[in-house]
Structure 1
Amino acid sequence: MAKSVLDLTDSHAHIDDPGFDADREAMFARAADAGVRQIVVPAVDRESWNRIAAICASHPQALPAYGLHPIYIARHRPEHLAELATQLKTRRPVAVGEIGLDFFLTELDQERQRHFFVQQLRLAREFDLPVIVHARRAMDEVTSTMRRIGGLRGVVHSFAGSLQQAQRLWDLGFCLGIGGPVTYERAQRLRHVVATMPLDRLLLETDAPDQPGACHRGERNEPANLREVLDVVAQLRGESQASIAAATSENARRLFKP
């Protein structure tokens, strides 16, 4: 199959996930065929950092981000923050992530989440790196916390908020990561945001292996499926796929500076 002429960046894909161990090389080939030229790979816990570093070292199209994800708050230890600072200094990833707050899962300790989120925001500011932010049922607090810390830039991935919440993020200079959920017709609020938002604040993502689009529901997601997201975003905005692909990839390069 001839490779696509599109220039796409998957700004969020957990391709270090063990679900890709059996066919990771084929996954990279499918991504290239679909026009995905770069893939940002965010970490979720301390254990994932070395795994991501190894994958990215052997695949230059894969770009590492290191952080401590709120869903895995029970795994995180205070010393991991000091170790993260060392990682940011010595390995110089493209971002600090995935970090944030998750108030959807009520069993997660919210105070510990807040502590780790704030400390990682401060590290991102100290090392002048963008952040990749998870905000589930916590958008307003995430936004107010980032505003309070100040001096930050980044992306709220898998954005699912209102137009007003999006505007507050744009006012802070943040991008929105848009993936599989936009491909579902029922996602009318999200589709309105995507159709009307400033193009220079838009990033495309898959969140692989999670959040497959409508054409792949129930399947493992992967970066090649970014084409489905691109198709829907282009339709919603009344623009060409090539122009959306080029603009969102340029946005990613500007933010992550690979």
Structure 2
Amino acid sequence: MTKPLIQRQNDPTGSTMTNLFDTHCHLDFDVFSEGVEQYLADAGKSHVTKFMVPAIGKANWARLHAISKQYRNVYFAVGFHPYFLDDYSSSHLESLRDFLIQRSGQCVAIGECGLDFAIGVDVQKQEDFFVAQLTLATEFKLPIVVHERQSHNRLIQLIMQNKFKGGGVVHGFSGSKQQALEWIKLGFFIGVGGTITYPRAKKTRTTISELPLESLVLETDAPDMPFNGLQGQLNHSKYLEVLLNELALLRKETKQSVAVRMWQNSHLLFDICE
């Protein structure tokens, strides 16, 4: 694909700052009572100008489509989050396929999907839905947004068994370097979130500092996963620059060079051109 142009904004100090892309946030949630327009405006003041919003289930597909139609800098994914699978049956997978057939250009991935072995949802049902979404991602040539908790080995196994080649992103990664490299080898990006802002998260901080920069993207997971120092508050895309600063410090690279690479990676991940 064509390499995306680098966008820059002037900040009040007169310097330039590359725009940022929050690759995982839930700005459609009702908890953001100020509404989407104000959310985007507040994020924009911190140079965050593009947003990816994964679905949690069929309940918010239509809302995400409507938001992306109104705000062209908002992209979205549709799928079934493992947390909410008790609300759905296999018949809803056909609804997902129907939606994908008619999707707009702002729908750029399938997800949030995956496996979570720390919850009470039937494991076989989780696996069935995940495999079905892999099949749809292959059919429609879309990447996937992966939710992973205590399920790394099984996810890798299912992806390899089903010969999935579409890539995607592992959301909120907090595993080992070896696990990250397994994902990268399969064509996935690693979603870097608020975990790295906590000094006690030494394993994740070390892992992220050692991975190839071209395999990383930034995400907030707003309103969840608040950053260190902001516990008890709603997370928000406007804090993404805090994450950028921490990543640059961990890697001993300049903030601007990391920002440029994150902007490029985000577009490559979702096959978005300028």
TM-score if structure 1 supplies the norm length? Answer: 0.96
Match of 2:130 in 1: 117
Distance 2:56 2:26 in 1: 9
Deviation at 1:227, TM superposition (A): 1.0
Match of 2:7 in 1: none
Q: CA RMSD in A?
A: 1.4
Deviation at 1:6, TM superposition (A): 2.5
Contact 1:177–1:204 (8 Å) recurs in 2: yes
Match of 1:108 in 2: 121
Deviations 1:138-192 (A, max 9, x none): 1111112112222221000001111111111111111100111110001111101
Distance 1:81 1:229 in 2: 35
Match of 1:227 in 2: 241
Secondary structure, in 3 states, of the residue corresponding to 1:212?
Answer: coil
How do residues 111-190 of structure 1 correspond to structure 2 at under 5 angstroms?
111-150=124-163, 151-190=165-204
Pick the structure with more helix per residue.
Answer: 1
Deviation at 1:2, TM superposition (A): 5.2
Alignment of 1:26 onto 2:38: yes
Deviation at 1:100, TM superposition (A): 0.2
Secondary structure, in 3 states, of the residue corresponding to 2:229?
Answer: helix
Secondary structure, in 3 states, of the residue corresponding to 1:192?
Answer: helix
Deviation at 1:27, TM superposition (A): 1.4
How do residues 5-154 of structure 1 correspond to structure 2 at under 5 angstroms?
5-92=17-104, 93-105=107-119, 107-150=120-163, 151-154=165-168
Secondary structure, in 3 states, of the residue corresponding to 2:253?
Answer: coil
Secondary structure, in 3 states, of the residue corresponding to 2:34?
Answer: coil
Distance 1:28 1:48 in 2: 19
Identity of aligned residues (%): 37
Q: For structure 1, which runs of at least 5 residues remain unmatched after alignment?
A: none
Deviation at 1:101, TM superposition (A): 0.3
Match of 2:4 in 1: none
Secondary structure, in 3 states, of the residue corresponding to 1:9?
Answer: strand
Sort the Cα spacing of 1:192 and 1:172 in 2 relative to 1 into closer, same or farther, 3 A: same
Match of 2:5 in 1: none
Moved >6 Å (runs of 4+)? none
Match of 1:250 in 2: 264
Q: For structure 2, which runs of at least 5 residues remain unmatched after alignment?
A: 1-9
Contact 1:182–1:190 (8 Å) recurs in 2: yes
Contact 2:11–2:17 (8 Å) recurs in 1: no
Secondary structure, in 3 states, of the residue corresponding to 1:214?
Answer: coil
How do residues 231-242 of structure 1 correspond to structure 2 at under 5 angstroms?
231-242=245-256
Distance 1:249 1:65 in 2: 19
Matched positions, count = 257
Secondary structure, in 3 states, of the residue corresponding to 2:91?
Answer: helix
